[in-house]
Chains A and B, each alone.
Chain A
């Protein structure tokens, strides 16, 4: 299958923009400096860096007082944070102080998963790994080592492993997160939504959120822009089975039946097309296959959608008209974690199509075109070409997957097909919380000859490792440059603010050392990471000194809308916005999304939904004492009426049992009017079972543990995870 995947965002050439940026930046930078002079006299230092509590990469300034880390704040020069971090970022310093941290390299000394270790030196640990890797390479080939990684910190390990010869490099951010969205938008506009999302929320006059629970989902810039929109009186439409924080700000809250969003989207498009409310000129100019698309919508009337979604036809019509009223400044947000029901790519495509009808792609208040600075990659030698292709997606089973499928690697590790996978490197992803069906993950791990986990705390996945490598937290290390694609281009630097408290090391040091032990030293021609930065930055015409001082180098503002001169190009097969997709038809899929009703659960059960709490990131922040002080355990949201009928009390502990008889840890009931009665909801990331996580151990319940089922998206292999059902078990019987 020939998928077009050109990354066609604007890339601006360095030198001129750099000068412009320096002009603007130096002044502020010197202010920053002068204030830091004053502070130095009080024993204070302010050091810019960027945050790593999630992947948004907000620019930050840390303050160190008398050698001790005091606080971290947003860098006002940073376009992402705009000078303000989110609560997790503000509490990020707790990662440095976390008493549960890993302190030294560990080698397993008992069965896998028993969490019994011997502390070893770095040389012992890396030698052990290198020997095992060479053995795997000899027996199975270098491709038999796979890498799971999340976030910018994985870049150097990626480099080492590519140099070693494996193509199997993956992140949960594709198949467990935004993959379906990016595929859906690619199929329609030819481009991804990418991260940070190219959504122009602050200028949207009408914002539609389908599950995106901004305000709980704290992706910083989005939340700031969302609040700006609320302040400006933008019309907000929220579709969610749960009355989210965003819903409380909405003019229209549509309490949808879980899993039926596609029906709503089709009905909205039906109204907009039938009432001819769409942006006709835009559609005519840029659209491909509109007639066929329009024809296929006829059956999806609001009355039909009412039965599926539970949303009254009048409200569907009213909200459709509202969206059309503000076009093209109506943004139907594409969401981010969209791996819900297995039909996610088609649902995302429907969102793309609705945006296309409203003419919002390329327009102010819709989707802008991001730009980035031109900072060349380091001139490394070419990587060896893998003999075998990637293991995750044999025969292009999932024809539209443009990134590696984590669960595909897991499956190959279990089956040994298309070829065996014998080694896993896991960097900064807690696979037992991130992938659905823990049992499969453990099964795969049992087939391995080597599992290396690089982490900062003794996470669940670290508990299964053969070797655990303790990393310095982001406040204690350098990472790769962040050359961001955003509304305005900029470069961000992560640099150490304080020293690591024990024998932790930064990823670049580990990756480089490992490469040397593998005889791949020539892939690391630089000695220190500053040399690496220097090389890349000077090749782009930027100064490392400036970057170290300011943390950020900004580029000149670029045109970001079609009106401002961004060429309206769509790298799809037709070169247009594909209302009707021939490539989908050719691959045997619906060329225009079609709705199928999501299967219901067993009688008497509730659909399990999950999401974010503003003060935690996934399963990584529960041992951070500042953040755990904000929220120590999760609760299960149950409709107040159901709670009454079950004779339960708010705050009482219960357990949840899923359709496969997996029973959760105990969890408090939150009796609330903020959720539909047929589903329950919990915040992801709690219910830790790793012994080393002393503080969060067994606090709250783990959604991941209950997600034994998942529904695979046939287009791209993502795992729809909102397909599990639970019943309520009294705590007493399990106490």
Chain B
């Protein structure tokens, strides 16, 4: 029998870490969603779909701008020393994923903005001369448009990866300690984005296409999950214990029911039926996917904070 006790009882640290509540998962989720959207809309732009008045090209960029700002707001709300937030931009810390994230966002905004300029949304047209002129210029150069597409896809990928790398860089939290996490978050971001477009697109072709893509992303996500978990399970005992918190521990019900079941398997099934025209397309599946994506972040952020290296000093607990 072993007893381990500590007199430390710090607010938000003990008995287990919970420095991050809903804000960071929301931020990570929106970051992933926007990343996915950027990849999708970038892809559509690249493929010349912007000529066809496709929803993805037409509406996604400015919706992303709004979403991203919402995500940034969530991040800002989480900061405890808010009036110093500008400190993020007086330095670049190479070793800090958060610093990378801050600067990536500096690039993401203009990329999205340029994407918006390809077709300025109706209410904003003919308002600001400069924008209208820029938009005209861009539209005169198909090459530039292609580059904007590529830039959006690239930065989207970086952003999506970043949301996972941020967590996996915290060596102190064994659950996050996986090289698969960036892939997981990227793929999950893509599936949420696909579901999102699926949900709000008007064009049936586009919807059909995205439902199919989403099925692909969801299937891929399952594989990545498999890799993520088996990676932990084949690592040290500390990592095995960490994996157990979501597999069998207190986060297991949430994980299995909401993330895997309602967030991936069931919508996958529904959409498979839908693309094979066994059932009609409905918002149910995409909503489940999006909610699943959010819950994935919430559960991983919470469970990760609960995992710890302390066990390492307890052989054969």
Contacts and interface: CB of A to CB of B under 8 A. Distances in A.
| Direct A–B contact in the complex, CB atoms closer than 8 angstroms | yes
Interface of A: 630-631, 640, 671-674
Contacts of B7: 630-631
A612 to B, nearest CB: 16
Contacts of A673: 1, 3
Contacts of B1: 640, 673
A673 B1 CA distance: 8
B5 to A, nearest CB: 8
Interface string B1-14: 10100010000000
A673 B3 CA distance: 8
A640 B2 CA distance: 10
9 contacts: A630-B7, A631-B7, A640-B1, A640-B3, A671-B3, A672-B3, A673-B1, A673-B3, A674-B3
A404 to B, nearest CB: 39
Contacts of A672: 3
Nearest 8 pairs of A and B residues by beta carbon: A673-B1, A640-B1, A672-B3, A630-B7, A673-B3, A631-B7, A671-B3, A674-B3
Contacts of B3: 640, 671-674
Nearest to B15: A651
A45 B166 CA distance: 49
Interface in B230-265: none
A673 B2 CA distance: 8
A153 to B, nearest CB: 31
A672 B1 CA distance: 9
Contacts of A671: 3
Contacts of A640: 1, 3
Q: Is the interface of B mostly helix, strand, loop or mixed?
A: loop
Contacts of A674: 3
Interface in B1-38: 1, 3, 7
Nearest to B3: A672
A674 B5 CA distance: 13
A672 B3 CA distance: 7
Interface string B36-65: 000000000000000000000000000000
Nearest to B5: A670
B8 to A, nearest CB: 11
A244 to B, nearest CB: 15
A671 B1 CA distance: 11
B105 to A, nearest CB: 40
A630 B3 CA distance: 19
Nearest to A644: B1
A369 B22 CA distance: 67
B184 to A, nearest CB: 35
A674 B2 CA distance: 11
A630 B7 CA distance: 7
A60 B1 CA distance: 42
A47 B3 CA distance: 43
A309 B15 CA distance: 40
B14 to A, nearest CB: 13
A358 to B, nearest CB: 36
A613 to B, nearest CB: 11
Nearest to A640: B1
Nearest to A632: B9
Nearest to A673: B1
A444 to B, nearest CB: 39
A91 to B, nearest CB: 13
A468 B7 CA distance: 36
A118 B248 CA distance: 61
A486 B206 CA distance: 93
A716 B146 CA distance: 101
A132 B1 CA distance: 62
Nearest to A672: B3
A17 B3 CA distance: 53
A672 B5 CA distance: 11
B314 to A, nearest CB: 15
A726 to B, nearest CB: 22
Given A631-B7, A640-B1, A672-B3, 5 more contacts: A630-B7, A671-B3, A673-B1, A673-B3, A674-B3
A671 B4 CA distance: 11
Contacts of A631: 7
B94 to A, nearest CB: 39
Interface in B50-98: none
A212 B282 CA distance: 76
Nearest to B7: A630
Interface in B108-159: none
B13 to A, nearest CB: 15
B312 to A, nearest CB: 21
A631 B5 CA distance: 13
A562 B7 CA distance: 45
A220 to B, nearest CB: 20
A672 B4 CA distance: 10
A673 B7 CA distance: 18
Contacts of A630: 7
B1 to A, nearest CB: 5
A597 B80 CA distance: 63
A640 B7 CA distance: 20
A671 B3 CA distance: 9
A631 B8 CA distance: 10
A631 B7 CA distance: 8
Nearest to B2: A673
A223 to B, nearest CB: 18
Nearest to A630: B7
A218 to B, nearest CB: 15
A1 B3 CA distance: 54
A674 B3 CA distance: 10
A92 B260 CA distance: 55
A353 to B, nearest CB: 38
A721 B209 CA distance: 82
Nearest to A629: B9
A379 to B, nearest CB: 51
A640 B5 CA distance: 14
A665 B302 CA distance: 35
A347 B311 CA distance: 46
Nearest to A631: B7
Interface in B183-235: none
A630 B8 CA distance: 8
A122 to B, nearest CB: 41
A234 to B, nearest CB: 27
Nearest to A615: B7
A630 B9 CA distance: 9
B10 to A, nearest CB: 11
A274 B165 CA distance: 75
A105 B291 CA distance: 63
B142 to A, nearest CB: 68
A734 B45 CA distance: 69
Nearest to A651: B15
Nearest to A650: B3
A174 to B, nearest CB: 34
A557 B1 CA distance: 50
A625 to B, nearest CB: 14
B195 to A, nearest CB: 43
A154 B7 CA distance: 35
